[in-house]
Amino acid sequence: MTDVVADISVSLDGYVTGPDAGPDNGLGDGGEALHTWAFSDDPDDQRIVRESTRRSGAVVLGRTLFDIVDGPGGWNDEVGYGAGEVGRPPFVVVTSSAPEAVRLTDLDWTFVTSGIGDAVATARELAERESRRRDAYVDVVLMGGGRLIGTALEAGLVDVLRLHLAPVVLGGGTPLFVAGVPVGFTQAEVVSTSTATHLTYDVR
């Protein structure tokens, strides 16, 4: 079946960006360390990137993250979704208003202005269509940012939480979790590599 998977890298102190993140400093100060694993030569890291990209039937992201990846210093022909895999699933952006123009016109963008619930429903339809095309299940992936994933968890929209725990303390930035509705998890998998600890939880 198609799962909704929240997938994000996080520091040991719980941040998904470093301090002073913004359009010209997307991951914040020191935040690049969060994604070292995605570009490493470790076979397990490479397998996780490859398998996650392959199973992505549709990807949901927030407007702040969209503005970063679609900005001048964002994704290009060599670096895109799935790091070096440059995956091309359809992307669904949660936003209050659609942008006037998109730089990455070769990607499939849908802008949803009616909230995270409708965005996930739209992405699920796209992923289920892709599942039928491939004759194999693919997932809806919530790639962030942190507030989007936290909101989706509180709303009960997430089936699986996948964290890539980077061995770095950032001391500030964008937190993954803030005070809100308690959510329970069941540990499903732990993979330790030279650059990260990959944690997968089923959402109860």
Read off the pLDDT of residues 11-54 as tens digits, 9 standing for 90 and up: 999 999 999 988 888 889 999 999 999 999 999 999 999 999 88
How many domains are there within the chain? 1
Q: pLDDT band at residue 7, thresholds of 50, 70 and 90?
A: very high
- Looking at residue 37, what is its pLDDT? 96
The answer on pLDDT for 180 being more than 80 is no
- Looking at residue 131, what is its pLDDT? 93
Tens of pLDDT along 48-73? Answer: 999 998 899 999 999 999 998 998 88
Distance CA 36, CA 12 (A): 14
**pTM score, whole prediction:** 0.91
Tens of pLDDT along 83-101? Answer: 555 558 999 999 999 999 9
* Burial 52-84, CB ≥16 within 10 A → b, else e: bbbbbbbbbbbbbbbbbbbeeebbeeeebbbbe
Cis peptide leading into residue 184 (ω within 30°): no
The percent of residues in the chain predicted with pLDDT above 70, rounded, is: 97
- Looking at residue 63, what is its pLDDT? 95
The answer on pLDDT for 113 being more than 60 is yes
| 3-state SS, residue 144 | strand
- Looking at residue 84, what is its pLDDT? 54
- Looking at residue 86, what is its pLDDT? 52
Give mean pLDDT, residues 106-115.
96
Q: Which domain holds residue 28?
A: 4-203
CATH number at residue 66: 3.40.430.10
15 contacts: CB under 8 Å, gap ≥ 6: 28, 31, 146, 170, 172, 173, 174, 175, 176
- Looking at residue 132, what is its pLDDT? 92
